[in-house]
Amino acid sequence: MSFSVTEPTKGTKWFAGFLVVAYAIITLVPLLWIVATGFKSPADSIAYPPVVVFEPTLEGYVNLFTDRTRATDDMLAEAGPPETWYDEIARERGTIITGPSRYGERFLNSVIIGFGSTALCMILGTAAAYAFSRFRVPLKDDLLFFILSTRMMPPIAVAIPIFLMFRNLGLNDTHLGMILLYTAVNLSLSVWLLKGFIDEIPMEYEEAALIDGYTRFQAFYKVVLPQAATGIASTAIFCLIFAWNEYAFAVLLTSGTAQTAPPFIPNIIGVNGKDWPAVAAGATIFLVPVMVFTVLLRKHLLRGITFGAVRK
């Protein structure tokens, strides 16, 4: 642990505080803008100069979650009065809701594929990192370099071979295929990150557990894993963010059943003109799971669980 020798002056503290606030504003404004746009009417969303104060409407969310058709006066009369609040919003625009959109489905796909590949990546990555960290693996350095090298080119460079391979294996447009693909891309990162975290855990803990009558696996499970929780949590966040946001492979390899949310959101543009509020609503909802996941794991992101138990 190190301490700064001089106490910062009041001016320095104010300056540091100002920088932090400024940075927070710069990062958060685009995010707030997206969230706000989701609640604007289409006219407000493209108004120039941009409107900051506006009357919020759920039209964007209604448009995101529903399919609608433009209706003539006859059709409107035939359909009778609106039955629900979202019906009412659609009617105001002269449209009739014909059914739910596929956004919910796509979102669920994102959840399954994102969390599935993250979980698989953590299981494989932790096991591999532990083995590399603790055992004498033949050609260890070469293997580690090979694992890292899989990350050296942009994954999309191998898109066509992967497309052909997936087609032959019947993995095209399947959840399993996307989970395997994202796991393969993320695994190198997770092995390297986790090896670093496990290297930092002194071997004595496991040895103590071995002496105390536990098997190697129990020692790994009961002593190493709790110590590595911090590393596993932060690595999992990295993996999830990649799998969650991935766009190119999702466009290429999925179309119907296993399509994730990122390729779906741009589809909204064009159906009924540029419906920016619906796009912003889709993006806002899409942000939520990663934020929740990060907030849930933030406790583990704080270092210091192992601090002081072994004297260094």
Partner 1 sequence: MAQIRIENVRKEFGAFTAVQSSTFTIEDGEFFMLLGPSGCGKTTTLRMMAGLELPTSGEIFIDGEEVGMKPASQRDIAFVFQMFALYPHMNVGKNISYPLLSQGMPKAQVTKKVGEIAEILGITDILKKSVGGLSGGDRQRVALGRAIVRDPKAFFMDEPLGALDAEFREHMSEELRALHDRMNATTVYVTHDQLEAMQMGDKIVVMNHGVVEQFGVPQDIYDWPATKFVAQFIGSPPMNFLDFSGMVGTGTTEVRLDDIPVQIPESREGANGRLTFGIRPEHVKLDDTSRYRGKVIATEYLGTTQIVTLETSNGLIKARLSSADKVRVDETAGLTFDPRTITLFNSETGQALRSAANLEVLGNG
Residues forming the site for partner 1 (CB under 8 A) = 202, 204-205, 207-216, 218, 223, 226-227, 305-312
Q: How far is the CB of 242 from partner 1 (least distance, A)?
A: 29
Q: Which of 191, 190, 187, 167 is nearest to 177 (CA)?
A: 167
Q: Which is nearer to partner 1, 154 or 213 (CB)?
A: 213
Q: Which is nearer to partner 1, 138 or 256 (CB)?
A: 138
Q: Which two tokens stand for residue 162?
A: 């992967």
Q: Which is nearer to partner 1, 198 or 209 (CB)?
A: 209
59 within 8 A of 42, measured Cβ to Cβ? yes
Q: How far is the CB of 14 from partner 1 (least distance, A)?
A: 34
Q: How far is the CB of 226 from partner 1 (least distance, A)?
A: 4
For tokens 């670093």, the residue is: 196
Q: How far is the CB of 193 from partner 1 (least distance, A)?
A: 21
Q: How far is the CB of 223 from partner 1 (least distance, A)?
A: 6
Q: Which is nearer to partner 1, 101 or 227 (CB)?
A: 227
Angle (nearest 5°) at CA 130 between 294 and 146: 90
Q: Which is nearer to partner 1, 159 or 225 (CB)?
A: 225
Q: Which is nearer to partner 1, 206 or 275 (CB)?
A: 206
Q: Which two tokens stand for residue 267?
A: 């589809």
> What DSSP state is assigned to residue 4?
-
For tokens 């301490």, the residue is: 3
Asked whether the bond before 202 is cis by omega within 30 degrees of 0, the reply is no
Q: Which is nearer to partner 1, 76 or 229 (CB)?
A: 229
Question: Rounded to an integer, what distance in angstroms lies between the CA atom of residue 240 and that of residue 296?
Answer: 13
CA count, 13 A, side-chain hemisphere, 100? 5
Question: Rounded to an integer, what distance in angstroms lies between the CA atom of residue 23 and that of residue 4?
Answer: 24
Q: How far is the CB of 277 from partner 1 (least distance, A)?
A: 48
Q: How far is the CB of 138 from partner 1 (least distance, A)?
A: 13
Sequence-ordered list of residues with C-beta below 8 angstroms from that of 263, at least 6 positions apart, any chain: 247, 250, 251, 254
